[in-house]
Chain A
Amino acid sequence: MRHVGLKARMAVVGSILFAFYAVAAVVVMGVFDWPLALVLLASVLFVGVQYKLGKWMALRSVGAEDLPEERSPDLHRRVESLSRDMRIDKPRLMIASMGVPNAFAIGRKGAGTVVVSEELLRTLDTDEVEGVLAHELAHIRNRDVVMMVLGQGVASIVAIVAQWAVLLTGDNDIADFFLAIVVGQLTQMLVMLFVFAISRYREYVADSDAADELGSGEPLARALEKISRGAQGRESQVDSQAAALCIFDDRGGLASLLSTHPPVEKRIERLRSR
């Protein structure tokens, strides 16, 4: 059985998210007199619009363009071969100039897109690029993007319901409006803690899948190492004011609980200890 650990964790987090959603749905049904079918339809529409809009905006925001096969036949061949091995349809391959080495996957199994940055292709060797591609294809195969959209959908719905619950039970003065906004944000944060926990674990699973496909975790580990070394060099050139502003972030505590990715060093360590 594949990914037993992931399935067990998904069962726990899925149940927690469902419980949050069920409470929100019951509140909507009670307060607005909506039948269950309407609540479900509105939820599906809400998440569906987020998914479609998110996909469109992601490609637009980085100015991603289709990577024609004639321009990079080798890359296309590698994606095709990996997709075949991973038993998924070959995703749409796009390229963008992002200013830094990067790659990401969007969409779902059967309708996925992988975007790679020109900087990534310039920075990494052929086998390292393959490691990155295998990791992104694993995200598509494991439906990680869909899971994240669903998680955010539940968090947003629960937050909206919490906001309305505050508004409808108050006097509608300025303090109530403020309280409603704050409660909504904090509720969303609380639900997202669970979504992020599973997201970090899914990164490890995608790393492990990529290593399985390539027969070794070394290419992806090297890619991560090379990119993070380059990033440290660039960060040292960031002005001290910006550095002071970032000092607490992405380092332990709340910031690490609200992270989608585990620390790069831990990922490299796991990839190499396989």
Chain B
Amino acid sequence: MTDARTLLAAILGLLLGAVCLVAPGAVVRVQTAGRRPTGRDGEYGTDAVPDRWRRLVQALGVGLVAAGGYFGYVAL
């Protein structure tokens, strides 16, 4: 029988994973806004995010997609 919570974990995990892969800078900004000054990284007038942070978030995104896929497989 399909476990609704496991299926939800799969869907939302895939969704968050996709966001991490497609817009890593946005994910970093969500975590750092208000904790570090906005516009602190990169050039003045931008809210750029360092490349190493983007790559870290994208790596997390791969993990989230893999975990989401696994839970999807288990639920279905």
The residues of A with any CB-CB pair to B shorter than 8 Å are 50, 53-54, 57-58, 61-62, 100-106, 115, 120, 132, 145, 148-153, 155, 170-171, 175-176, 178-179, 182-183, 185-186, 188-189, 192, 195-196, 199, 223-224, 227-228, 230-231, 242, 245-246, 248-250, 253-255, 257-261, 264, 267
10 smallest A-B Cβ distances: which pairs? Answer: A152-B34, A258-B26, A179-B9, A104-B37, A260-B38, A148-B34, A249-B25, A175-B6, A255-B23, A260-B47
**Contact assessment for B58 and A245 in the assembled complex, using a CB-CB cutoff below 8 Å:** yes
List of B residues within 8 angstroms of A155 by Cβ: 30
Contact of A260 among B5, B27, B29, B55 (CB under 8 A): B29
**Contact assessment for B44 and A103 in the assembled complex, using a CB-CB cutoff below 8 Å:** yes
The distance in angstroms between the C-alpha atoms of A50 and B36, with both chains bound, is 10
**Contact assessment for B26 and A261 in the assembled complex, using a CB-CB cutoff below 8 Å:** no
- Least CB distance from A47 to B in Å reads 9
**Contact assessment for A255 and B33 in the assembled complex, using a CB-CB cutoff below 8 Å:** no
- Least CB distance from B5 to A in Å reads 6
**Contact assessment for B5 and A179 in the assembled complex, using a CB-CB cutoff below 8 Å:** yes
List of B residues within 8 angstroms of A150 by Cβ: 34
- Least CB distance from A250 to B in Å reads 6
Name the CB-closest residue of A to B49.
A249
**Contact assessment for B46 and A254 in the assembled complex, using a CB-CB cutoff below 8 Å:** no
* Contact code string B32-46 (vs A, CB < 8 Å = 1, else 0): 011111111011111
**Contact assessment for B40 and A224 in the assembled complex, using a CB-CB cutoff below 8 Å:** no
